[in-house]
Amino acid sequence: MPRFTRPDRPAIAYDYRPGRGPVLMFLPGYMSDMTGSKALALDQWAAGQGRAMLRLDYAGCGASEGRFEDQTLADWRDDVLALIDHVVAGPVLLVGSSMGGWLMLLAALARPDRIVGLVGIAAAPDFTEWGFDAAARGALVRDGRIVEPSGYGDAAYVTTRAFWDSGQAARLLNDGIAIDAPVRLLHGQADPDVPCAIALRLAAALRSADVQTLLIKDGDHRLSRPQDIALLIATVARLLDTP
């Protein structure tokens, strides 16, 4: 698997397949990687369509170098931007899952001339603000990290003070978000981790006039069921075909 190397940051593992049209770039969620079911299903579809696609592991995740606990939200945003700048050419359509939905917004703000569309899957911008109660914030300040059980695997969720501070410095929902590209937001109404109200707040904050929010009544946070993945692929296909 190729790696993008840099003198000042860990090497990033990625999988890039050239093809036609905008490059589809999948951004995983927190403590996830490029081998998730949504990323692989989208990649398989793109391959069948002859479309370009890139999957990546952020530093400290999956096959990339580095320690997970050393990374911040800004670091992972810069990982995404490094691949946009140095690995792929031309227009890019970002697909972001959970925290990846926050990163896709930050990347679009940083590279407005390259990003031609966004698809959020349970996008979680500003989760350092609304996702931590007073006790968790206190523990972060006191101990520098918190460890919580994960509902999605054996590994516990670790959040560091540095990551939390980085997230707080990158909040978007309280102001207008100066993104003009078309945006599609898929969100489960049964999501226990990211309230579906976040999708509505995000849609309202985006400057783009072409924003569509689709709420899946029985959808959970992962949106990884066959019908959810079919909806994701159909959404990406329609967005790519939009003149």
Q: Which residues contact 72 (CB under 8 A, 6 or more apart)?
A: 160, 162, 163, 165, 166, 167
- 119 neighbors 38 (Cβ within 8 angstroms): no
Q: Which of 75, 98, 166, 187 is catalytic?
A: 98
Phi-psi sector, 59: left (phi>0), alpha (psi -120 to 50), beta: beta
The answer to whether 191 is a known catalytic residue is yes
Whole-number Cα distances in Å, 201 to 19, 172, 195: 35, 10, 10
The answer to whether 150 is a known catalytic residue is no
Determine the Cα–Cα distance for residues 119 and 239; give it in Å rounded to an integer. 9
The answer to whether 97 is a known catalytic residue is no
Q: Tell which residue, 75, 77, 72, 71, has the closest CA to residue 106.
A: 77
Place of tokens 């939200």: 73
- 102 neighbors 123 (Cβ within 8 angstroms): yes
Place of tokens 């810069």: 78
Q: Which of 43, 57, 191, 228 is catalytic?
A: 191
Q: Which of 57, 78, 166, 221 is catalytic?
A: 221
Tokens of 5: 């190397």
Give catalytic residue positions: 98, 191, 221
